[in-house]
Amino acid sequence: MTGLTLVTGAGGFIGGQLTRDLVESGIAVRAVDCKPLDQWFFRSDQAQNLKLDLRDMDACSDATRGVEQVYNLAADMGGMGFIENNKALCMLSVLINTHLLVASRDNGISRYFFSSSACVYPDYLQNETDIPGLKESETYPAMPEDGYGWEKLFSERMCRHFREDFGIATRIGRYHNVYGPFGTWDGGREKAPAAISRKVAMAVISGRHEIEIWGDGAQTRSFTFIDDCLTGTKLLMASDFVDPLNVGSDEMVSVNQLVDIVERIAKIRLKRSYKLDAPKGVRGRNSDNTLIRQVFDWATSISLEDGMEKTYRWIYDQTKARAEGRAFVAAYD
């Protein structure tokens, strides 16, 4: 594609790194987010950077005007603590995808990517810690994560019907717990890899060798490093594959095992306490990568240990800088 590409949610973690990747590839990018520009995680001077609230139809019309393709990564979301306590806010993100699809139809957008989530999978398949990977075909009968998952599943259907009825080449990636440096690492919206990295870093810096873990630590997940997420996203966007597709790692670990990994990286052992009444989501979740291997002969390749090494080092630097009263954001390596 040689025309202008729109990235929404460009001030966030995945959207910001996708913008960086596309710009470095020589692609003209219009980057849009509702946050003030000085609050974006990444901002490229080579992109058109716009502050727009895409819950508004007029903003979506402005954002898509003159654009050839759209990566929609905009959503009001965060880690499990945010999702479980802000169901209505999460569901209001349906306005973004709905208005963007309408604007894309009206402005002649040829190709449209929607960032969905593993939260669309039924909770009745995720009641045990030792579960097989979730297959794309197992989405129905539907019982997704309340709030956030329902919004994602409804938006997937919207994409499907806009493809069928209006000819927009919609593509849907179901992300599984994307993490890495340059993401949210505190404030309540961070996910488990970032939260654990911050807690371990604080233990190292403060000398208080203890950590609080949400739940009993036995709950399981798979985590996808940002570089793998970007590769899978671009493969799917450029392809002729029209159905939702998992973009995630199948390296499943427990939360306790994730803490073990970060402790090894930090060369520390911590006393663990467990907050059993904290938000913790489903008991087990993992990605089945059979289909993405069949379609692209590809799956994620960055191990959790390697990805967490990079993530922890970056978050440690942020945490130490804050403790010393200074700002620190290293250039992307």
Active-site residue list: 148
3-state DSSP of 120-169 = HCCHHHCCCCCCCCECHHHCCCCCCCCCHHHHHHHHHHHHHHHHHHHCCE
Exposure of 207 in the CB half-sphere (CA atoms within 13 A): 0
CA 230, CA 19: separation in Å to the nearest integer?
10
Q: How many CB atoms lie within 10 A of CB 310?
A: 18
CB 44 within 8 A of CB 18: no
Distance of alpha carbon 53 from its chain centroid, rounded? Answer: 19
- CA nearest neighbour of 101 among 70, 132, 79: 70
CB 43 within 8 A of CB 11: yes
Distances (CA, A) of 229 to 78, 245, 282: 17, 12, 22
Who's near 263: CB < 8 A, 6+ residues apart? 200, 269, 270
Sign, CA torsion 213/214/220/226: negative
Q: Which tokens sit at 61?
A: 């019309």
